[in-house]
Structure 1
Amino acid sequence: MKFSVLIAARNEAAALPLLLQDLAAQTLPAAHFEVIIADDHSTDATAAVVSEAALGTDYSLRLVTLSAAQTGKKAALLEALRVAQARWLVCTDADCRLGPGWLAAYAAQVARTPQANFISGPVLLTGPATFFQGLMGLEFAGLVGVGGACLARQQPTMCNGANLAYRRGAFEAVGGFADNAHLASGDDEFLLHKIHRAFPGSAHFLADAAAIVRTAAPTTLAALLRQRVRWASKWRHYQSAASRRLALLVLGANVALAAGLGAGLLWPELWPWVPAAWGIKLGADAWFLLPVLRFLGRRKWLAGLVPLQVLYAPYALAVGAAGWRGGYQWKGRAVR
């Protein structure tokens, strides 16, 4: 058996049947992978959905449940890993959708880079074709692109737990989640940073369109902010210098552009420089984002670049401040 697919699930009875169908449609032979779903105290029919599906799948599908003392995604993944049999562990989320070549793309990457210990895959936001969804998708595509580019330079900064894989031996060698188990978020990036430190040059980005995982975008602004605050809550715990520098660079560049507009109102002699700065920033963003959007099949999202730039400074400041303060609601739980 080559891959163990680990999935943490909490109240995902509606989404899981679609994910299980996608796993059944994988082009990688069923004998080459197993799927383990860890039920994190669901109050819906999540466990029943998995148990029923396990009776009719060609691949090995198992359900594990968390004890009363275990809660959260990290605990769920560890419980799934405890019974996993493969040397390579592949992770996605219970509400994601997978293409048929998803696992085959990972198998090909492992064959190309046999020294690899960590592989980060691409994620695409999906949803109705609205202006709001386009802005969310564009921002998220930028995160995916930056994460991939940093991995290509072997200065890893970010990845997404909806689509990644790591070698069991590397996970155990760096202590798994032990030193950040108290944090609800960060099962992905903290692990990436630790494996990179312990095994330099062994983290890679899976730049294969067949490996794209699709996940639904937040449906409201409030839901988007809750998600982003959850992500931002781990920034102050980063030990990776590259991640800290990147966060400061992105925030500083976007706030400086917004501040430039205000400065131009106070000192009109600055106006020739203000549009020049905006032009350079927008041109650089378009140059970077165009191949990323082409890879994701969402080139039309580039039309939202200007409005996203206008909104980004107050958005980033608000999310960053809320994340630094800590505390948010996720999956029906209050997290500190």
Structure 2
Amino acid sequence: METLEEVELCFPQLLNTSCKKPKRSHFEVIMSYIILSSITVLSTTLNLLVIVTISHFKQLHTPTNLLLLSLAVSDFFVGLLVFFQIMFIDGCWYLGDPMCIVYLCLGCFITASSVGNMVLICADRYVAICDPLHYSTKVTQKRVKVCVSLCWIGSVIFQSLVLKNNFENTGSAISCTGECVAPGNYITQLADLFLSFIGPVTVIIVLYMRVFVVAVSQARAMRSHIVAVTLQGSVKVNVKKSEIKAARTLGVVVVVFLMCVCPYYIVVFTTRDALLDGSSTFMICMLYLSASINPLMYVFVYPWFRKCLKLIVTLEILRPDSCEANIL
């Protein structure tokens, strides 16, 4: 039987109510700090660069880039939330029950917003590939702003309903001091699983499969007519190639996104309570890792971002007329 000396408590002064620290090797703790710290730095830095770039340069104020901007904002806050997970590495929550609830709710809200933005970006690519002639009329800045606003507002409303029990029964599921648990029931977890994960992922996969089929058919058509292409036609081919390249990038993002998000939702669905303790650090890392990958996959592949990055690093962005610079 373990003695008090052998057991490490989160709050040693509270012998009867404190949670026990999970036993971990020094190597595991150090690696957890390194991984989570890297995710925080990458997510906040890269997404902040995306936010500054798209917001500052007027030439980049297109419907597609507005969607990328919204995704970057949500991913930026995801990176900030990782800081709380770093404080939770030793398996103890030191910020109290109210902050635990705030952290859990913000995490669910921001993650849902990120997933919603992913759906909107996939829908944008779907229209661009499958109906390019009507893209400029169907996808306008005004409509994109409305969709983005609905995405954020809908995430807040839905997660507020799902986590309503958390606000009404703050700390009711806490069995010991130093634990951070999100109380809930099977029905709310099932609803969250379908509306926050299965539903959006199904939409993304269906849209992208359609995009992939159309992109392949376009590529075959271009190869079969490449000899007869005129100078004007070659410009059209280049445009189609750029759209197909964007579709391929989207395919890679979808696969990486599923790899990052699936482990977390599988654990949440298979357990009755959404425990955010030290044992789930890996799942949290995978969930938050997508926030670092998104800006790399969506934005860093475009030449205009590298031009903007050069202007930012050289402080040319501070010039009064820098927002009018020719980026494209």
TM-score bracket relative to the smaller structure: under 0.3
With a CA cutoff of 8 Å and minimum separation of 6, indicate the structure with the bigger relative contact order: 2
Larger Rg, first or second structure (1 or 2): 2
Q: Which has the higher helix share?
A: 2
Normalised TM-score (structure 2) = 0.26
Please state which structure has a larger fraction of its residues in strand.
Answer: 1
What is the TM-score when the length of structure 1 is the normalising length? 0.26
